[in-house]
Amino acid sequence: MAANPPEIGWQEKTALIIGRASPEPSKTHVETVCTGGITENGEVLRLYPIPLRYLEREKRYKLWTWAKFDVQKNPSDKRKESYRVRDDSIRVLAEIENPAEKFSMLEKAIFKDRETLDEQYHKDWTSIGVIEIEFLDFYVETREKDWERDKPYIRQFLLYTERKALEQLPFEMRLKFRCKNNPSCKTHDSSLIGWQYMEAFRKFRQKYGSGDGGFMALDQKLRSFFNDPNKRAFVLMGTHFKYGSWMVAEIYFFDKNLPRRLF
């Protein structure tokens, strides 16, 4: 499998933010948020490491915002979409709200199915893509990672900034699905790592007073979207840097009768 040749120097790219993984502790950057973006011409980007919660407020981009970044191809990451980012270069431009406009951008990254996406990964290190899915199940299982054990530096004192609270959830969220456009798909079972789902669980837990109550509320909310006969469901998938396993970073729901954007 041929690796993408590294690009020399830094370049500016403008991208629409289409996914944000939940924050992870980092020894070098305090914490990082792996971010998915797509340019006007359809180039998909993996932007990291970005200590999003530690940036100045005006640089903290959200989902569906356009932003500018100074980026450099990461020579230590063979995945073709992976770029390093200069934190101080980030400029948030505008947010889009129109569903047709969102879909017109997102569809530039759509693959027929996960199987096709996986084939491309082994051909040219394509490691991010969007697919339409048929929902099967949403559940949690005991997590394998333990930050307290594996990342002891999270307890270290920071000299120049105050460390923000970062909770590791007691479980791993999982999404089970079939590829909508592949009758031969035998189902997939992937970790759900999107930031907004972690935050939704925390809010529901606070509202209902327990972890079980929080998960039940999140479960009901997601299933109500998946079971809506007027909606199409898509997921943004990306691979793990170390293991190459496919994870779900974002879930999208669009009306089946969504008007096409003409320009």
Is the backbone of residue 244 left (phi > 0), alpha (psi -120 to 50) or beta?
Answer: left
Angle at 12 between CA 7 and CA 13, to 5 degrees: 95
Tokens of 47: 């932007």
Cβ partners under 8 Å of residue 12, min gap 6: 68, 69, 70, 71, 89
Are residue 141 and residue 220 in the same domain, yes or no? yes
Alpha-carbon distances of 115 from 36, 65, 133, 138, 230, rounded to whole Å:
20, 30, 12, 21, 26
Tell me, yes or no, whether 163 and 249 share the same domain: yes
Q: What is the structure's pLDDT at 3?
A: 45
88 part of a folded domain:
yes
Distances (CA, A) of 15 to 4, 29, 66: 20, 22, 6
125 part of a folded domain: yes
Quick one: 114 and 217 in the same domain?
yes
Provide the pLDDT for residue 119: 97
> Is 23 in the same domain as 109?
no
User: Which string of DSSP letters, residue by residue, matches 101-150?
Assistant: HHHHHHGGGB-S-HHHHHHHHHHH---EEEEEEEEEEEEEEE-S--HHHH
Q: Is residue 172 domain-shared with residue 233, that is, in the same domain?
A: yes
Of 166, 156, 170, 160, nearest to 212 by C-alpha is 170
**Domain-embedded: residue 189:** yes
DSSP H/E element including 239: strand 231-239
Give the pLDDT confidence score for residue 4 in this predicted structure.
44
Could you tell me the mean pLDDT of each successive run of 10 residues in the chain, 263 residues long? 56 98 89 96 96 95 98 93 95 96 97 97 97 98 84 74 87 97 97 97 96 96 98 97 94 92 56
164 lies in some domain:
yes
What CATH code is carried by the domain that includes residue 229?
A: 2.40.50
- Predicted confidence at residue 54, as pLDDT, reads 93
Task: Give the pLDDT score at 158.
Answer: 75
pLDDT in tens, 209-257: 999 999 999 999 999 999 999 999 999 999 999 888 999 999 999 999 9
Clarify whether residues 29 and 128 are in a common domain: no
Q: Which among 75, 98, 121 is the end of a domain?
A: 98
Can you give the residue range of the structural domain that contains 38?
11-98
- What is the predicted pLDDT for the residue at 153? 72
Query: How many domains in the chain?
Result: 2
